[in-house]
Amino acid sequence: MQKLELIVIGNGMVGHHFLEQLAASPACERFAVTVLGEEQHLAYDRVHLSDYFSGQSAADLALGTAVQYQEWGFELRLGTRAAAIDRAQKTVSLDNGEVLNWDHLVLATGSYPFVPPIPGNDRAGCLVYRTLDDLDQIRAEAEQATTGVVVGGGLLGLEAANALKGLNLDTAVVEFAPRLMPMQVDAEGGALLQDKIESLGVQVLTGRATQRIEDGEASRHRMVFQDDKVLETDLIVFSAGIRPRDELAREAGLDMGERGGVVIDDQCRTSDPSILAIGEVALWNNSIFGLVGPGYQMAKAALDTLTEGERTFAGADMSTKLKLLGVDVGSIGDAHGDQSSGTKLYRYLDGVKQHYRKLVVSADGRRLLGAMLVGDNSYYDTLMQYYSNGLDLPADPESLILPVSEGGAPALGIDALPDTASICSCHNVTKGDITQCIHDGKASLGEVKEATRAATGCGGCAAQLKDVVDHEMAALGMEVSTDICEHFAYSRQELEHLIRVEEIRDFQTLRERYGQGLGCDICKPTVASILASVWNDYVLEDQHVGLQDTNDTFLANMQKDGTFSVVPRVAGGEITPERLIVLGEVARDFNLYTKITGGQRIDLFGAKLNQLPAIWQRLVDAGFETGHAYGKSVRTVKSCVGSTWCRYGVQDSVRLAIDLENRYKGVRAPHKLKFAVSGCTRECAEAQSKDVGVIATERGWNLYVAGNGGMRPRHADLFATDLDTETLIRTIDRFLMFYIRTADRLQRTARWLENLEGGLDYVKDVILHDSLGINADLDAQMARLIEHYQCEWKTTLESPERLKRFRQLINNDQDDPNVVFVEERGQIRPANDTERARLIPSVDI
Amino acid sequence: MAEALQVEAHQAGKAQAREWVTVGKRSDLIPGSGVGALVGDQQVAVFWLPELYDTLYAVSNYCPISGVHLIARGIVGDVGGEPVVATPLYKQHFSLLDGRCLEESEHRLQIYPARFLGSAVQIEVPVTGRSHRRQAA
């Protein structure tokens, strides 16, 4: 069969993409393909052009190789310019006089940088920023220059400014519009962007029209502006927009747009159906698309037009996410909010951090029409998903652009995305494509990228792609194992169930039935904790003692030097003067460092292992109990002074705090638990940062759950309102027990709730409406824990056998001679290395 | 490599006399866990694993990572079948077979042969110069 002659004019990113698609198509064999490229280089990544100045070579930026073109069977003619198209003869004549025949022609000639018609714009040292050759010229000129000016403050202009700055030129940007990036940002955003860029040492002049360029005095050129102000510089780069390379089409008599561009239809056909046009030369619906993503979509549509496929070009989203001179700029959809009426605007401006965000929302408040980001693009991915998938906005859309304390912008769960959600718009890869790819056996981010090409265009979707891949792999049970360790192929929740249902009372039995090996420092403490949560036996029983972490083993908190700290229970933070004096006396007599804790208790530091029993004997004799500061267990219930003393208090918060602490003391859980009770809405006890928080109301108590301070603070959720004390306690009982049963190892309530399927509503259903029918069971389990409470120190002190464990050495009564203290601010502290070297005499071994 | 180590140990054994020292009784030990014992002027951590053929392991009690004598307080277990102790401050694992640190290979614990003799817990250590002289006298 005679092959059809197909000529592709232009070998930029879009032309290359077309060829890549064609090569992969079974229809490829129907065509004899010739590729004409004006540049000497094979298609390269123009999006990352500026990387050329930061060490990337032309080869690094190349999108393909000559060998690859050869394998595809395409004739590649670089450094060859098409001079004219003869539509009647169906020929293309080349600049070397050669004439080629074609049956189909694809124009992918791209664009050229627009140089404003300013007298002097053709002076030596006035350059453009578009191709590798341009960059070579800029680099060469920069060697004799100390200053450089970019004319144009748009996307490409700022890229060029970054390049000049990278060449160590004193750089300025001159923009005709009253602000930078006028297409992408509004006045506020532009002002903020300008501040940021100026703070990086790049001078910004906006609202300046250059009248002429002439010889300078101190520098090579002088730019003269409309108000006769001048700016001298050694090097000028024009980057004031692009214009379609449409002269071939124009001379061939194809339909053209008023301001240039070859008119195409949805099939990318020009007015001559045997000639297609794609990329920046093409004008679709009166628009030129100056981004690579839409160009790729045109390439696919053009291929289908040639091969009787179905894809068409239906316009493209111009949303972009950029980092220009290190400054994030993001623009989604109708970012200016001027394309439809009745829109609602939300704006957030942080003048200190220099962040600006804007939402354009439909009149009914349900759809995101556009968004603008300056300074922080971490909000982009989520907003983009709302925009491109038409997802229903939350009732408070502003939450999507307000700062969040929890380490980053609000993320839209991967689950919330439909399969049709576009992840990579450059290569048009959807969430469904990625899911399919993983189902087909691709088992890593790299493999998925290779197979789908996702995140290999502009790269803006890389973070989101990773999220989708991780999520899908987790959903398929790949790599992300929930086994707690190599000894048990079960999650913590499964082990809890086995222990409770099969009434397993010790590690040995569990290991023999469900585990293997000796166990380890992960499964042993986990199982010890579960056993304690279910049975609440004394943790230092022979069968449990080897499972415990050091702190539980010695019922104290080990510090960095191997000494321990001691925290007696001070329920609700209430303490009598007599007891306070005892604490002082014990601390003084044993020379302990004393500090008030965040949980309204007193911590005594610097106890050596063999001192612990004597210290605790004194404390227990004075009526103190262990504070469980060492356990993954209920710690304290912090309280404000409440209605007894406080003129604002509406309930007795101290009484409730003491009752709660005494009820739950010693309850072991997947992680530590902190409570607080506030006597009125002023919330002095900070209950909303606790695992369980209670705030008094006129009519009773409001219960908050799953708050957290620490590394990732979380504001607690309101769980139930105006409870009487009995109902409050019953609700807390069930909440705690449900958490204990279902959480992962070392998972605080905050993270547990966040990761629990169904979230807060689900927990409310279970606890408040008994949707699982387990409440009686939860009540019984809590009753057992409370019934089996013991002060572990009291029990330990009663057993001389157990006390033997509190020796540094079994055959010597001395304490550890390597523990050394020095004094600071009137108390002891561990000696540092230098001090130790001085204080410990070296021993010859 | 393992062979070379053995030869070295063998030669060391030849070069230096060793003796079994009693450090305590079986009832001083904690099943499935460790205790500290003083041997000469060295602190040794002794682990008793009743569930693993009633084996005793002894390693130096000094943790080179935290600089504290606390190895005896670590949780014992196995990593891929190799008995280990996890140091309680920063949780690195040391092999009870050869003392090496699984995570940070530059660290290693001294290992000591250990045994029950009747109910006595014994550790084998090099005969120190002083005790050697005393024996000789």
Check CB contact of A94 with chain B, cutoff 8 Å: no
Contact check, Cβ <8 Å, A487/B77: yes
| B16 Cα to chain A: minimum distance (Å) | 15
- Predicted model pTM: 0.55
Check CB contact of B69 with chain A, cutoff 8 Å: yes
Give the residue among A416, A414, A443, A320 at the shortest CA–CA distance from A373.
A320
What's the half-sphere exposure (Cβ side, CA atoms, 13 Å) at A801?
8
Each residue of A553-583: b (16+ CB within 10 Å) or e? bbbbbbbebbbbbbbbbbbbbebeeebeebb
Kindly state the average pLDDT of the residues B26-55. Answer: 92
Amino acid occupying residue A292: V
Q: What is the pLDDT of residue A459?
A: 66
Q: How far is CA A169 from CA A162, A172, A233, B2, B19, in A?
A: 10, 9, 10, 61, 76
- Tokens describing residue A835: 């001090």
Would you list which residues of A are annotated within the binding site for siroheme? 684
Q: How far apart are CA A618 and CA A624, in angstroms?
A: 9
Nearest to B30 among A523, A525, A546 (CB): A546
Phi, psi of B76 (to 5 degrees): -95, 155
Residues near A366 by beta carbon (within 8 Å), at least 6 away in sequence:
A392, A393
User: H-type helices in A391-520, by residue range?
Assistant: 431-439, 445-452, 462-475, 492-501, 507-514
Q: What residues of B are in contact with residue A548 (Cβ under 8 Å)?
A: 75
Would you list which residues of A are annotated within the binding site for [4Fe-4S] cluster? 640, 646, 680, 684
Beta bridge mates, A126 = A236
Contact check, Cβ <8 Å, A549/B31: no
> 3-class DSSP state for residue A510?
helix
Residue A38's pLDDT band, with cuts at 50, 70 and 90, is very high
Judged by average pLDDT, the poorest of A692-706, A819-833, B115-129 is: B115-129
User: DSSP per residue over A452-477, as a string?
Assistant: H-TTSSS-TTHHHHHHHHHHHHHHTT
A514 burial level (CB within 10 Å; 0-12, 13-18, 19+):
middle
Q: What residues of A are in contact with residue B24 (Cβ under 8 Å)?
A: 810-811
CB-based contact B91:A746 (threshold 8 Å): no
Kindly state the average pLDDT of the residues A702-711. Answer: 90
Residues near A56 by beta carbon (within 8 Å), at least 6 away in sequence:
A48
Contact check, Cβ <8 Å, B37/A520: no
More confident residue, A665 or A834: A665
- Eight-class DSSP state of A30: G
CB-based contact A40:A307 (threshold 8 Å): no
Q: How far apart are CA A603 and CA A558, in angstroms?
A: 12
Residue B2's pLDDT band, with cuts at 50, 70 and 90, is very low
Q: How far apart are CA B95 and CA B72, in angstroms?
A: 13
| A620 Cα to chain B: minimum distance (Å) | 25
| B18 Cα to chain A: minimum distance (Å) | 16
Q: What is the pLDDT of residue A408?
A: 44
Q: How far apart are CA A203 and CA A148, in angstroms?
A: 10
Judged by average pLDDT, the poorest of A114-118, A573-577, A583-587, B51-55 is: B51-55
Q: What residues of A are in contact with residue B95 (Cβ under 8 Å)?
A: none
Q: How far apart are CA B32 and CA A204, in angstroms?
A: 71
Check CB contact of A205 with chain B, cutoff 8 Å: no
Q: What residues of A are in contact with residue B68 (Cβ under 8 Å)?
A: 560-562, 818
Beta bridge mates, A812 = A809
CB atoms within 10 A of CB A729: 19
Give the residue among B40, B49, B55, B50 at the shortest CA–CA distance from B134.
B40
* pLDDT greater than 60 at residue A369: yes
More confident residue, A441 or A662: A662
Q: How far apart are CA A459 and CA A831, in angstroms?
A: 52
Q: What residues of B are in contact with residue A546 (Cβ under 8 Å)?
A: 30-33, 75-76
* pLDDT greater than 50 at residue B134: no
More confident residue, A458 or A202: A202
Residue B52: closest C-alpha in chain A: A518
* pLDDT greater than 60 at residue B115: yes
> 3-class DSSP state for residue A436?
helix
CB atoms within 10 A of CB B134: 10
| A649 Cα to chain B: minimum distance (Å) | 44
* pLDDT greater than 80 at residue B1: no
Nearest to A562 among B49, B70, B83 (CB): B70
- Tokens describing residue A841: 């005499």
Beta bridge mates, A358 = A347, A372
Q: What residues of B are in contact with residue A812 (Cβ under 8 Å)?
A: 37-38
Q: What is the pLDDT of residue A476?
A: 74
Q: Residue with structure tokens 């390693």?
A: B59
Q: How far is CA A452 from CA A45, A301, A302, A445, in A?
A: 18, 18, 20, 11
Contact check, Cβ <8 Å, A545/B33: yes
Residues 498-517 of A with CB under 8 A from B: 508, 517
| A551 Cα to chain B: minimum distance (Å) | 9
Residue B137's pLDDT band, with cuts at 50, 70 and 90, is very low
* pLDDT greater than 90 at residue B101: yes
Q: What residues of A are in contact with residue B21 (Cβ under 8 Å)?
A: none
* pLDDT greater than 60 at residue A392: yes
> 3-class DSSP state for residue A609?
helix
CB-based contact B50:A489 (threshold 8 Å): no
User: DSSP per residue over A305-366, as a string?
Assistant: HHTT-----------EEEEETTEEEEEEESTTS-SSTT-EEEEEEETTTTEEEEEEE-TTS-
Q: How far apart are CA A233 and CA A236, in angstroms?
A: 7
Name all domains of chain A by residue range, CATH numbers in brackets. 4-112+244-306 (3.50.50.60), 126-240 (3.50.50.60), 492-548 (no CATH), 554-787 (3.30.413.10)
Check CB contact of B79 with chain A, cutoff 8 Å: yes
- Tokens describing residue A135: 């960059």
Give the residue among A790, A787, A767, A789 at the shortest CA–CA distance from A777.
A767
Give the residue among B18, B61, B14, B16 at the shortest CA–CA distance from B41.
B61
* pLDDT greater than 90 at residue B12: no
Q: What residues of A are in contact with residue B33 (Cβ under 8 Å)?
A: 545-546, 553
Q: What is the pLDDT of residue A395?
A: 83
> 3-class DSSP state for residue A626?
strand
| A650 Cα to chain B: minimum distance (Å) | 45
Contact check, Cβ <8 Å, B36/A558: no
Residue A520's pLDDT band, with cuts at 50, 70 and 90, is very high
CB-based contact A437:A452 (threshold 8 Å): yes
Share of chain B above pLDDT 90, in %: 58
* pLDDT greater than 90 at residue A48: no
- Tokens describing residue A470: 């991780």
| B88 Cα to chain A: minimum distance (Å) | 6
> 3-class DSSP state for residue A715?
coil
Residue A713's pLDDT band, with cuts at 50, 70 and 90, is confident
- Tokens describing residue A603: 């911590």
| A277 Cα to chain B: minimum distance (Å) | 59
Nearest to B88 among A520, A550, A809 (CB): A550
User: DSSP per residue over A736-774, as a string?
Assistant: HHHHHHHPPTT--HHHHHHHSTTHHHHHHHHHHS-TTS-
What average pLDDT is seen over chain A? 90
Nearest to A810 among B23, B68, B93 (CB): B23
**Prediction ipTM score:** 0.85
Q: What is the pLDDT of residue A411?
A: 57
Nearest to A810 among B37, B69, B88 (CB): B37
Kindly state the average pLDDT of the residues A668-675. Answer: 96
Give the residue among A779, A783, A743 at the shortest CA–CA distance from A763.
A743
Each residue of A780-808: b (16+ CB within 10 Å) or e? ebbeebbeeeebbbebbbeeeebbebbbb
A32 burial level (CB within 10 Å; 0-12, 13-18, 19+):
middle
Kindly state the average pLDDT of the residues A150-167. Answer: 90
Q: pLDDT for A415-432, tens place per residue? A: 777 888 888 877 778 888
Q: How far apart are CA B21 and CA A619, in angstroms?
A: 39
Residues near B112 by beta carbon (within 8 Å), at least 6 away in sequence:
B39, B44, B58, B59, B60, B123, B124, B125
Instruction: Please work out, in degrees rounded to the nearest 5, the angle formed at the alpha carbon of residue A333 by the alpha carbons of A329 and A336.
Output: 75
How many CB pairs lie under 8 A apart between chains A and B? 105
* pLDDT greater than 80 at residue A91: yes
Kindly state the average pLDDT of the residues A764-776. Answer: 94
* pLDDT greater than 60 at residue A711: yes
Q: What is the pLDDT of residue A427?
A: 79
Q: pLDDT for A800-835, tens place per residue? A: 888 988 999 999 887 787 889 999 999 999 998 888
Q: What residues of B are in contact with residue A845 (Cβ under 8 Å)?
A: 41-42
Beta bridge mates, A333 = A370
